[in-house]
Each structure stands twice: as C-alpha cells, then as structure tokens.
C-alpha cells in the first residue's frame, strides 16, 4: 500500500511583508516555494505551513511517479549474468496542489474567529525530473581519480488563482463612504526549475534555480495601514460604558489602491559547503518585477538555512535578509531601510512521520 | 549448449532465494541490481524498498549493488534480509544494517555479497 508521508511544519515569521515570491529551492521569507525537493518517487508528501509573513495557512500535497519503471520478473535466475545491466532512464513526473487561506488583517484573526476569510489562494503544479549518473575524473590533492557523479534537474509548470477581500479607507470621500471593501481576484502562471550539481572536487553542493512568471497583483501590501474602531457609548444608571465592536476593528489600507499585471524573473543560487559539515546553505536570490505601473522593481535576497544533520535537503530553520524594490519604483516616501529591508526567520517542526 | 543460458537444461538442485531490502534516509533516488539484474525500487513509508525471489546454484554468490543518489552529505542506512531455502544468510563483511554517507559527487555505491 502506498503511504502518505507527513510532514514538516515550518513556522515562518517575517517582520515586514515581502514582494519576492516562489523561491526555487528553499523557501524565502514569504514561505513561498513548492514541495518537490524531498519528494521520492511513488511517495506522497503532505505539508502544512503557518506563515506570519503574509498571514496565511498553507496546505501542500505533492506526488511523484517514475516513468519507464523497471519490470521485474517473479523469479530471477541469478546464475545468468546480463552484461551490461540494462537500466532505463530515470525520469519522474509529479503533480502537486496547495491551498492557502489568508487574512489581510493578521494571522491572529484566523485563530480568534476560526475563519480564513477574506483570502483564499489555490495553485496546481506539474513537475518533471531527470536524474543521471556519469563517471567523471576529478582532480584531488594527490592527483586525479575517477568517480561517479549524479546530477538532476527539475522543471515546474504552475498556475493558480487567488481571491481576497480588502478593506480600504479613503478620507477624501464622504463619511459614510470612507470605509469600503473591494474583492481582488488574482492569478499567476509560471515556469521554474533548478539544477543540482556537485562542485569543488565534487564535495560541495550547488543548486542553480530560475523562474519566469506572470502575476496579477495589487498594491495593498504597500499601502499605509490604519486601524479604525467605531465606538458606541451607552449610558445606564449613571455609568458610561464604551463598547467597541470587534468586527469593525479591522486594519484598513489607505492610499491609491491599484491592480496590475507583473512579469517576474528570478534567479537563485544555493551553496552547501563541505567545510561546514553540510549544515548550512547560503542562498542568493535576485529578481526583477516588470509591470506597466511600477517598473522595474529590483529585489535581492540573502538567506542562511540551517540543515538537518545528514539530510541537507531538510531545512530546520533559516534567516533571511531581503531588499525589495531597491530603486523605489513603487514611489514610496518611506526611508530606504523601512521601505526595502525585510528580515525573516523560519523554524521547522517535524510533527509526524509514518 | 551452455546450461547457464538454456533453461531446458537447468539443474534441478537450484536454491530458492528470497531477498528484501530497504534504504532509510533523505536520499533522492536509489538503483539496485542483483547479480546484474536491475530491480524494481518502490517507496514505502518514506523508505526505498525492493524485493525479489531468485533461483541460484548452491555455492554461488549473490552480489547486490546499491547506487544511491542524493545531495553530498546525506546519510543513509541499508537494511536487508536474505534466505536461501529458508535459511537466513548475510554478508559477514557487511551485516545489516549497512550505514554510510554520500561523501562525493552526489552519489555513493555499496555492495553486499552473500554466499549461498
């Protein structure tokens, strides 16, 4: 029976919202990324992520299948020796989906009200992986020697839809119309991939990634936020009681709200060196966002991921430093550090593994 | 005709072998051969596994080769069981479990040889 393997639950805390999305290998500060790296052929992965960076809860499923699987006879005659052994090419195809419930007003409201409204995001993705092993001669300190080297690459096609109710405040309107909702419907489509290869006498790991995507976005994350409470005063027996309706104590965005289409191009490099015992990954991920409204937005991220001993594919925690919209295409009047700089961290907890 | 290639002349005193193995660890892929035959590898409960039933002439050996693919630095553990006509057998040089780490080239090879 095929098993359902569960789960790493990363808890992600980002101190400022980030514009960079969909890290190719490890997650970025926004907890973006697709669970394909730890996927074993024929196995299913179910993961859940709480992300305080963008106020969301994300559930991800991924399954991968081997194409041209070996056909094994019921009984093998071990006295005959096939030479050379015939090994089919190692190609895998996979599919995944994730749903994400989010609240623009803060993750705490999800727990206090039990509701994921007003935001929902769903994505489907397909993956193709190719692995190959070759004999290679490498240089060593004492000369050279022949070793086997494995490399593999993964290509992902993804598409998704999101719907979010946003609260806006426009002080220029009449009092009754200052507070209003708008329903944002976004979508994304993209292609991404990464290539894993050994470097530095084949002892270090280097992961090269890149992606191109089209996204329909809004600028709500960049608007100033204000908290507005309607207060009712009640007089009873000489006592003044103030009642604050919780439903209206929302955060409202104020400023010029806009929706627009963005093309995002991103590259990433992750290096896992031997001299640190394969316990740390250094990641650099520059990107550029191109749109008719705010363009170009140049972004750069640096991340340090702390890896599980003996399992360099598994991150147990990470630190992020991101510089978003470094040239201020967004036109913010905030100072550089407040406007661009994002710090983030993650911690992962393995809650269940069958 | 060579008896090794002619099934009609196969000796009747062949030993029945049952072999089962699993590899634990965050490896990416696994290939296994037994005396040169590629074996079907599946994943059960997050571990790579493969099994086979075989026939072999007494006195011969089974050589199982594991080719492990994963990021350099990945640790793994191989467990196996083998029985020949119901009698448990093992590799005295590499008794189960066999542990290792991929230390170069995202690839490692381990060999288990069991005398029947």
Tell if the CB–CB gap between A198 and B72 is shorter than 8 Å: yes
Tell if the CB–CB gap between B105 and A150 is shorter than 8 Å: yes
Which sign does the torsion angle of CA A81, A83, A85, A86 carry?
negative
SS3 content of chain A, % helix, strand, coil (to 5): 5, 60, 35
Collect all residues with Cβ–Cβ distance below 8 Å to A176 and sequence separation of at least 6: none
What average pLDDT does the segment A125-150 reach? 86
pLDDT in tens, A176-228: 788 888 889 999 998 888 898 888 777 899 988 888 999 998 888 777 777 77
pLDDT in tens, B61-108: 999 999 999 999 999 999 999 999 999 999 999 999 999 999 999 999
Helix residue ranges per DSSP H, A43-180: 108-113
Q: Specify the length of chain A in residues.
A: 354
Which sign does the torsion angle of CA A310, A126, B32, A84 carry?
negative
Stronger pLDDT, A235 or B9, i.e. the higher one: A235
Q: Which helix (H) or strand (E) holds B68?
A: strand B61-69
Q: Which helix (H) or strand (E) holds A337?
A: helix A336-340
Model confidence at B20, in pLDDT bands (50, 70, 90)? Answer: very high
Q: Which helix (H) or strand (E) holds A227?
A: strand A224-227
Range with lowest mean pLDDT among A42-46, A306-310, B24-28? A42-46
**Closest CA of chain A from B50, distance in Å:** 10
Measure the CA–CA gap between A313 and A309, rounded to whole angstroms: 10
Neighbours of A113 (CB within 10 A): 13
What average pLDDT does the segment A150-179 reach? 86
B-interface mutation test, from A150, A306, A352, most B Cβ less than 10 A away? A150
Measure the CA–CA gap between A345 and A323, rounded to whole angstroms: 15
Q: Are B50 and B42 in contact (CB under 8 A)?
A: yes
Q: Of the candidates B31, B44, B60, which has its C-beta nearest A79's C-beta?
A: B60
Q: Are B48 and B28 in contact (CB under 8 A)?
A: no
Q: Of the candidates B33, B42, B107, which has its C-beta nearest A149's C-beta?
A: B107
pLDDT at site A30 = 55
Looking at the predicted structure, is the pLDDT value of residue A275 above 80?
yes
Range with lowest mean pLDDT among A78-82, A126-130, B65-69? A78-82
Stronger pLDDT, A122 or A19, i.e. the higher one: A122
Measure the CA–CA gap between A142 and A315, rounded to whole angstroms: 34
**Closest CA of chain B from A310, distance in Å:** 5
Measure the CA–CA gap between B71 and B28, rounded to whole angstroms: 8
Measure the CA–CA gap between A296 and A59, rounded to whole angstroms: 32
**Closest CA of chain A from B46, distance in Å:** 6
CA max distance for chain A? 101
Taken in order of first residue, the domains within chain B and their CATH numbers are: 11-115 (2.60.60)
pLDDT in tens, A315-330: 777 788 889 889 888 7
Tell if the CB–CB gap between A136 and B105 is shorter than 8 Å: yes
What average pLDDT does the segment A63-78 reach? 87
């Amino acid at each position: 029976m095929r098993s359902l393997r569960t789960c790493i639950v990363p808890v992600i805390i980002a101190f400022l919202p980030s514009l960079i999305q969909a890290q190719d290998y490890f997650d970025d500060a926004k907890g973006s990324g697709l669970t394909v790296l730890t996927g074993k052929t024929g196995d299913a992965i179910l993961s859940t992520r709480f992300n305080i960076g963008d106020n969301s809860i994300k559930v991800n499923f991924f399954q991968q299948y081997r194409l041209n699987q070996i056909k094994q006879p019921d009984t093998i005659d071990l006295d005959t020796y096939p030479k050379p052994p015939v090994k089919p090419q190692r190609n895998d195809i996979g599919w995944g989906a994730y749903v994400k419930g989010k609240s623009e007003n803060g993750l705490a409201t999800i727990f206090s009200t039990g509701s994921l409204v007003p935001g929902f995001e769903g994505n489907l993705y397909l993956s193709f992986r190719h692995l190959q092993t070759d004999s290679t001669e490498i240089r060593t300190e004492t000369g050279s020697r022949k070793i086997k080297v494995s490399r593999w690459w993964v290509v992902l096609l993804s598409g998704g839809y999101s719907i979010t109710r946003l609260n806006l405040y426009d002080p220029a309107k009449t009092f009754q119309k200052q507070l209003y909702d708008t329903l944002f419907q976004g979508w994304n489509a993209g292609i991404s991939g990464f290539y894993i290869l050994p470097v530095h006498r084949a002892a270090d790991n280097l992961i090269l990634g890149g992606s191109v995507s089209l996204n329909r976005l809004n600028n709500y994350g960049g608007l100033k936020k204000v908290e507005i409470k309607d207060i009712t005063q009640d007089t009873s027996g000489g006592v003044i009681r103030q009642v604050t309706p919780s439903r209206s104590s929302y955060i409202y965005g104020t400023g010029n709200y806009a929706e627009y289409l963005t093309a995002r191009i991103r590259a990433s490099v992750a290096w896992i060196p031997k001299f640190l015992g394969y316990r740390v990954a250094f990641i650099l991920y520059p990107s550029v966002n191109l749109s008719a409204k705010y363009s170009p937005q140049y972004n750069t991220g640096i991340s340090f991921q702390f890896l599980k001993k003996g399992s360099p594919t598994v991150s147990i925690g990470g630190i992020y430093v991101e510089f978003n919209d470094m040239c201020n295409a967004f036109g913010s009047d905030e100072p550089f550090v407040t406007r661009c700089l994002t710090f983030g961290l993650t911690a992962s907890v393995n809650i269940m593994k069958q | 005709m060579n008896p090794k290639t002619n099934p009609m002349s196969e000796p009747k005193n062949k030993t029945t072998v049952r072999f089962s193995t699993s590899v634990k660890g965050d490896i990416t892929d696994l290939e296994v051969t037994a005396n040169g035959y590629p074996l079907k590898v599946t994943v059960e409960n997050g571990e790579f596994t493969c099994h086979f039933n075989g026939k072999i002439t007494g006195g011969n050996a089974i050589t199982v080769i594991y080719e492990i693919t994963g990021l350099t630095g990945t640790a793994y553990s191989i467990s196996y069981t083998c029985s020949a006509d119901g009698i448990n057998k093992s590799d005295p040089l590499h008794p189960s479990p066999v542990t290792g780490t991929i230390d170069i080239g995202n690839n490692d090879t381990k060999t288990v040889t069991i005398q029947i």
